[in-house]
Structures are given as structure tokens and as C-alpha cells.
Amino acid sequence: MIKTEPGPTFDHQALIELAEMRMPFGKHQGMRLIDLPEPYVVWFAQQGFPKGKLGQMLGTVYEIKVNGLEYLFEPLR
């Protein structure tokens, strides 16, 4: 018998929280993370994301942007 693992889960609340989070510092202070320019997010990825929740959220934005999945943000804008 083959045992199957459940598929990945999707946290809708986390996506909504991500869409509402604003950059707390720097050149783009006050801008929603999902609206940050891709080169800025790529720069963060190269330099290292901040520790904690902000870094995790920026990492998620990075993955979404570099994989062409920005359309996921459209209903949240």
C-alpha cells in the first residue's frame, strides 16, 4: 500500500497580512511590501533579509516576484 502525504496547505490569512504589511524603514518606507520594486527585493535577497517576521515576509515577496506570481496580489490591492 502506498501512503500519500497531504498536499501543501495555503494560509490565506498570511497572504492578506503580507498584502497589508508596509515597509517600516528605508527609501521605500510606508510602501506595501507587495508593491516594492523587484530590484529592491532582489537586493535584499543578495544582502540578506532582516531577521524575524519582516525578513520572512520579504522572502515570500521575493519568491512570488521572481517566479512571476505577482498576479496573486491583484485581488488584495
Amino acid at residue number 12: H
45 inside domain: yes
pLDDT, one tens digit per residue, over 12-66 is 788 889 989 999 999 999 999 999 999 999 999 999 999 999 999 999 999 999 9
In the chain, how many domains are there? 1
Grid coordinates 515576509 are at which residue? 57
The pLDDT of residue 77 is above 70: yes
5 inside domain: no
Q: What is the pLDDT of residue 5?
A: 59
3 inside domain: no
Residue span of the structural domain in which 23 resides = 12-76
Q: Is 49 exposed, middle or buried (0-12, 13-18, 19+ CB in 10 A)?
A: middle
The reported pTM is 0.80
Q: What is the pLDDT of residue 10?
A: 64
Q: What is the pLDDT of residue 13?
A: 86
65 inside domain: yes
Sign of CA dihedral 41, 36, 74, 76: positive
Report how far apart, in Å, the C-alpha atoms of 29 and of each of 5, 11, 35, 36, 56 are: 41, 26, 11, 10, 17
